[in-house]
Amino acid sequence: MQKLLFAGVIWLLSYGGLLAQSTASHVSGTIRTNTGEPLPGANVVLKNQTKGATTDAEGHFTLEARAGDEVVISAIGYQTTPVKIGSTSTLTVTLQESASQLSEVVVVGYGTQDRKNLVGSVSQVNAEEIKNRPVASFDQQLQGRAAGVQVAANTGVPGDGIFFRIRGTTSINASNDPLYVVDGVFVNNLSLQKITTQGQSNNPLADINPADIESISILKDAEATAIYGARAANGVVLITTKRGSYNSKTKVTLNASVGQAWAPKLWDLVTGPEHATIINEAWVNDGKPAATRPFRPVSEGGRGLPEEQPTYDRLSDIFRTGALQNYDVAVSGGTKQTRFYLGGGYTSQQATLRTNDFSRASFKLNLDQDITDKIRIGTSNIFSQSNRTNARVGDGPQGGILQAALHTPTYLPKFNTDGTYAKWAGFDNLDVLINNTDMHSTSTRYIGNIYGEYDILSNLKFRSSWSIDYNDYNEYEYWNTLTNRGSASKGLATSSVSKNTIWINEQTLSYRQTFGSLHTVGVLAGNTFQGNVSTQTLAQGTNFPSDAFKQIASASVTTSSSNRNQYNLASFFGRIDYNFARKYFFEASLRADASSKFAQGHRWGYFPSAGVAWQLKQENFLRDATFLSDLKIRASVGWTGNQNGIDNYASRGLWGGGNNYQDNPGTVPVQLANPELKWETTRQTNVGLNVGLFNNRIGLEINAYSKYTYDLLLQVPLAQSSGFASIYRNDGEISNRGLEFAINSLNFNKSGFQWNTSFNIASNVNRIERLSIPVDASYATERMAEGQPFHAFFVYKQLYVDPKTGDAVYEDVNKDGQITVADKQFYGSALPKLFGGLNNTFSYKGFDLSVFFNFSSGNKVFNNNRFFHESGGTRDDRRAINKNQLNRWQKEGDITDVPRVMTIGNNYNLSPTSRFVEDGSFIRLNSVVFGYTIPKAILSKVGISSARVYYNGSNLWLVSKYQGPDPEVNVTGNPTTQGYDLGTPPQPRTAQFGLNLTL
Amino acid sequence: MRNTFKLIPFLLLFTGCQKFLDVQPELQVDESQAITNASTAEAAVNGLYNRLGSDGYYGSNYPSLSYLSGGDIQWTGSQSAPQEITSRKLTADNGYVGSAWQAIYRTILQANYLLETVPALTDPQLTADRKAQIQGEAYALRALSYFDLVRGWGGVQLILKPTYTPSDNTGITRSSVDDTYAQVLKDLTAAEPLLGTTTNRNKVTRKTVWALRSRYHLYRQEWEQAETYASKLIDDATNYKLAKPYNAFFANNAAATSESIFEIAYTNSFKNGHYNWWLPPALSGRREWAPNANLVTLLNNPNVGGNRKELIAQTAPPGNLWYGKLYYRTPLGTDPAYVIRIAELYLIRAEARAQLGKTTTALADLNAVRDRAGVPLAQASTKDALLLAIEAERQVEFPFETDRWFNLVRTGRVAAVLGITDANKYVLPIPNSEILADKALTQNKGY
Rounded to a whole number of angstroms, the distance from the CA of A772 to the nearest CA of chain B is: 9
For residue B115, which residues of chain A lie inside 8 Å, CB to CB?
none
* CA proximity to B322, closest of B84, B76, B82, B63: B76
Comparing A73-77, A190-194, B250-254, the range with the smallest average pLDDT is A73-77
User: What are B247-286's pLDDT values in tens digits?
Assistant: 999 999 999 999 999 999 999 889 999 999 999 988 989 9
B-proximal residues of A, 510-539, CB under 8 Å: 527, 529
Quickly state the pLDDT bin for A58 (edges 50, 70, 90).
Answer: confident
Residue A174: partners with Cβ closer than 8 Å, 6 or more residues away: A642, A643, A644, A645, A646, A680, A712, A713
Residues A156, A54: one domain?
no
In a domain, A279, yes or no: no
CA distances to A359, A851, B304 from A325, in Å:
9, 22, 67
Nearest to A488 among B22, B330, B432 (CB): B330
What pLDDT score does A103 carry?
54
**Same domain for A847 and A776:** yes
| Each residue's pLDDT tens digit, A791-846 | 999 999 999 999 999 999 999 999 999 898 999 999 999 999 999 999 999 999 88
- Residue A24: predicted pLDDT: 54
Q: How many domains does chain A have?
A: 2
Does position B19 have pLDDT exceeding 70, yes or no?
yes
Please say which residue of A47, A74, A98 terminates a domain.
Answer: A98
Quick one: average pLDDT of B11-15? 49
Nearest residue, CB atoms, A718 vs list B17, B31, B166: B166
CB contact under 8 A, A773 and B436: yes
pLDDT (0 to 100) of residue B13: 52
Q: Which residues of A touch B288 (CB under 8 A)?
A: 426
Give residue B1's pLDDT. 39
- Residue B181 confidence (pLDDT) above 80: yes
Closest residue in A to B18 (Cα) is: A600
Smallest CA–CA distance, residue A890 to chain B, in Å, is: 24
Residue B390 to residues A26, A203, A549, B357, Cα–Cα distance (Å): 109, 60, 52, 15
Could you tell me if A171 and A86 lie in one domain?
A: no
Mutation target vs A (from B28, B116, B262; most A CBs, 10 A cutoff): B28
Confidence check: pLDDT of A324 > 50: yes
Q: Decide if A668 and B30 are in contact by the 8 Å CB cutoff.
A: no
Neighbour-count burial of A795, counting CB atoms closer than 10 A to its CB (0-12 exposed, 13-18 middle, 19+ buried): buried
Domain match, A30 and A178 both? no
Q: Report residue A36's pLDDT band, with 50, 70 and 90 as the boundaries.
A: low
Whether B327 maps to a domain, the answer reads: no
Q: How far is A541 from chain B (nearest CA, A)?
A: 11
With CB atoms and an 8 Å threshold, state whether A428 touches B92: no
Q: What is the pLDDT of residue A664?
A: 95
Longest dimension (CA), chain B: 92
Cross-chain Cβ contact A669/B110 below 8 Å: yes
Per-residue pLDDT at A364: 95
Which of residues A72, A98, A124 is at a domain's end? A98
The helix/strand count (H/E) of chain A reads as 12, 51
- Nearest C-alpha in B relative to A875: B78
Average pLDDT score, chain A: 90
Asked whether residue A101 carries a pLDDT value surpassing 70, the answer given is no
Domain span including residue B63: 38-265+338-437
Q: Which of A653, A662, A874 sits opposite B265 (nearest CB)?
A: A662
Residue A98: the pLDDT is 58
Q: Test A911 with B80 for CB contact under 8 angstroms.
A: yes
Domain with residue A68: its CATH number is: 2.60.40.1120
The b/e string for B49-85 (b: 16+ C-beta within 10 A; e otherwise) is: bbbbbbbbbbbbbbbbbbbbbbbbbbbbbbbbbbbbb
**Which domain-ending residue is among A98, A117, A151?**
A98
User: Residue A398 and residue B432: Cβ atoms within 8 Å?
Assistant: no
Residue A878 to residue B9, Cβ atoms within 8 A: no
* pLDDT of A707 over the 80 cut: yes
| A346 pLDDT more than 60 | yes
- Average pLDDT for residues B205-209, to the nearest whole number? 97
Query: Is residue A202 scored above 80 in pLDDT?
Result: yes
Angle, vertex CA B203, rays to CA B202 and CA B205, nearest 5: 130
Give burial (CB, 10 Å; 0-12/13-18/19+) of B341.
Answer: buried
Contact between chains at A719 and B44 (C-beta distance less than 8 A): no
pLDDT of residue A549: 94
* pLDDT value at B15 more than 60: no
DSSP-assigned beta bridge partners for residue A282: none
Residue of B nearest to A420 (CA): B316
Predicted TM-score (pTM) of the model is 0.88
**How confident is residue A425, by pLDDT bands cut at 50, 70 and 90?**
confident
Give the per-residue pLDDT at A688.
95
pLDDT at B205 over 70: yes
- Identify which of A332, A305, A364, A190 has the alpha carbon closest to the alpha carbon of residue A248: A332
Q: How confident is the model at residue A11 (pLDDT cuts 50, 70, 90)?
A: very low
A558: nearest CA partner in chain B: B268
Q: Are strands A628-642 and A680-693 parallel, antiparallel or unpaired?
A: antiparallel
Query: Which run of H or E residues covers position B294?
Result: helix B293-300
Establish if A820 belongs to a structural domain. no
A-chain CB neighbours of B318 within 8 Å are 413, 416-417, 422
In this structure, is residue B51 part of a structural domain? Answer: yes
The per-residue pLDDT for B389 is 97
Cβ neighbours of B114 in A, within 8 Å: none
How does pLDDT run across A603-635, given as a tens digit for each residue? 999 999 999 999 998 888 887 888 888 899 999
Higher pLDDT, B187 or B20: B187
Higher pLDDT, B30 or A56: B30
Residues of A in contact with B17 (CB under 8 A): 570, 594
**Residue B24 covered by a domain:** no
Q: Which of A:304-363 have CB within 8 Å of B?
A: none
Please provide residue A176's backbone torsions phi and psi, each rounded to the nearest 5 degrees: -110, 5
Mutation target for B interface from A661, A716, A876: give the one with most B CBs within 10 A: A661
Amino acid at B151: R
* Minimum-distance CB partner of B93 among A600, A648, A780: A780
Indicate the residue type of A122: V
Contacts of B40 in chain A (CB under 8 A): 667
What chain A residue is nearest to B112 in terms of C-alpha separation?
Answer: A723
Q: Do A867 and A874 form a contact (C-beta atoms < 8 A)? A: no
In a domain, A810, yes or no: no
- Residues facing A763 on adjacent strands: A739, A834
- Predicted ipTM? 0.92
Between A567, A572, A668, which is nearest B110 by CB?
A: A668
pLDDT tens per residue across span B294-338? 999 999 999 999 999 999 999 988 889 999 999 999 888 999 999
* CA gap B289, A302 in Å, rounded: 21
Note whether A704 and A684 are within 8 A (CB).
no
Residue-wise pLDDT tens digits, A510-554: 998 888 878 989 999 999 999 999 999 999 999 999 999 999 999
Residue A486 counted as domain residue: yes
Strand partners, A993: A258, A951
Contact (CB<8Å) A874/B330:
no
Q: What is the mean pLDDT of residues A473-482?
A: 95
Q: How distant, in Å, are the alpha carbons of A24, A44, A854 from that of A87?
A: 13, 18, 53
- pLDDT score of A659 more than 70: yes
The total of structural domains in chain B comes to: 1
Q: In Å, how far is B90's CA from the nearest CA of chain A? A: 9
- φ, ψ for residue A658 (rounded to 5)? 80, 0
**What per-residue confidence (pLDDT) applies to A4?**
41
Contacts of A416 in chain B (CB under 8 A): 316-319
Q: What number is the average pLDDT over the span B112-133? A: 95
User: Are both A518 and A659 inside the same structural domain?
Assistant: yes
pLDDT confidence tier of residue A882, bands split at 50, 70 and 90: very high
Mean predicted lDDT score pLDDT of chain B: 93
Q: Is A542 on the interface with B (CB under 8 A)?
A: yes
Residue A573 contacts by C-beta under 8 Å, 6 or more apart in sequence?
A227, A229, A524, A525, A526, A527, A528, A589, A590, A591, A592
3-state helix, strand, coil in chain B (%, to 5): 55, 5, 40
Best interface-test mutation with B: which of A567, A721, A902 has the largest number of B CBs within 10 A? A721
Instruction: Assess whether pLDDT exceeds 90 at residue A118.
Output: no
**Residue B20 lies inside a defined structural domain of this protein:** no
- What is the tens place of the pLDDT at every residue in A665-705? 999 999 999 999 999 999 999 999 999 998 888 999 999 99
CB-CB under 8 Å, B30 with A652? yes
B270 domain residue, yes or no: no
**E strands of A312-352, at which residues?**
322-334, 338-350
In 10 A of CB A279, how many CB atoms? 24
* Contact residues, chain A, for B170 at CB < 8 Å: 719, 722
Say whether residue A724 is in contact with chain B using an 8 A CB cutoff: yes
Smallest Cβ–Cβ distance between A427 and the set B113, B269, B281 belongs to B281
- Taking only the tens place, the pLDDT of each residue in B215-255 is 999 999 999 999 999 999 999 999 999 999 999 999 999 99
Residues in A closer than 8 angstroms to B20, CB to CB, are 529, 568, 570, 596
- How confident is the model over B195-223, as a mean pLDDT? 97
Which range, A159-173, A731-745, A929-943, B75-89, has the best average confidence (pLDDT)? A731-745
Claim to verify: residue A538 and residue A480 sit in the same structural domain = yes
Instruction: Report yes or no on B407 lying in a domain.
Output: yes
Least confident segment among A146-150, A227-231, A864-868: A227-231
pLDDT at A100: 47
Q: Please report, as a single letter, which amino acid is at residue A705.
A: Y
pLDDT confidence of B122, banded at 50, 70, 90? very high
User: A384 and A496 share a domain?
Assistant: yes
The answer to whether residue B130 sits within a structural domain is yes
Question: Is position B372 within any domain?
Answer: yes
Residues of B in contact with A665 (CB under 8 A): 43, 46
Q: Do residues A70 and A85 touch, judged by C-beta distance below 8 A?
A: yes
What is the share, in percent, of chain B residues with pLDDT greater than 70? 96
Q: Do A679 and A729 belong together in one domain?
A: yes
A400: which DSSP letter?
A: B
Contact criterion met (CB < 8 Å) for A909 and B157 = no
Both A94 and A142 in a single domain? no
**B35, closest residue in chain A (CA to CA):** A667
Name the 3-class secondary structure at B395.
Answer: helix
Q: How far apart are CA A927 and CA A187, in angstroms?
A: 28
Asked if A773 lies within 8 A of B53 by C-beta distance, the reply is: no
Q: Specify if A273 maps to a domain.
A: no
Helix (H, G, I), strand (E, B) or coil at A766: strand
Q: What is the CATH number of the domain that holds B225?
A: 1.25.40.390
Do A716 and A842 have their domain in common? yes
- What's the pLDDT at A97? 64
Predicted confidence (pLDDT) at residue A385 exceeds the cutoff of 90: yes
Q: Can you give the CATH number for the domain in which A635 is found?
A: 2.40.170.20
Q: Is residue A125 part of a domain?
A: no
Contacts of A556 in chain B (CB under 8 A): none
User: Span A301-316, mean pLDDT?
Assistant: 94
pLDDT in tens, A236-273: 999 999 999 888 889 999 999 999 999 999 999 999 99
Q: Which of A397, A543, A653 comes nearest B30 by C-beta? A: A653
In a mutational test of the A interface, the residue from B23, B160, B332 whose CB has the highest number of chain A CBs within 10 Å is B23
Length of chain B in terms of residues written: 447
Q: CA A70, A73, A75: angle at the middle one, nearest 5?
A: 165
Range of the domain at A854: 138-263+319-332+344-414+423-791+830-868+917-998
For residue A655, give the 3-state DSSP assignment: strand
| Range from A91-105, A126-140, A217-231 carrying the lowest mean pLDDT | A91-105
CA distance A816 to chain B (A): 11
Non-local CB neighbours of A670 within 8 Å, separated by 6+ positions: A654, A655, A656, B28
| C-alpha–C-alpha distance, residues A810 and A900, integer Å | 14
Of A73-87, A820-834, B23-37, give the range with the top mean pLDDT: A820-834
Share of chain A above pLDDT 70, in %: 95
Tell me, yes or no, whether A92 and A153 share the same domain: no
What is the SS3 assignment for B238?
coil
Of the CA atoms within 13 Å of residue A363, those in its CB half-sphere come to 5
pLDDT digits (tens, 9 = 90+) for B95-107: 999 999 999 999 9
| Contact partners, residue A716, CB within 8 Å, separation at least 6 | A726, A727, A728, A729, A731, A772, A773, A775
| Same-domain pairing of A49 and A154 | no
| Choice among A116-125, A737-746, B145-154 with the minimum mean pLDDT | A116-125
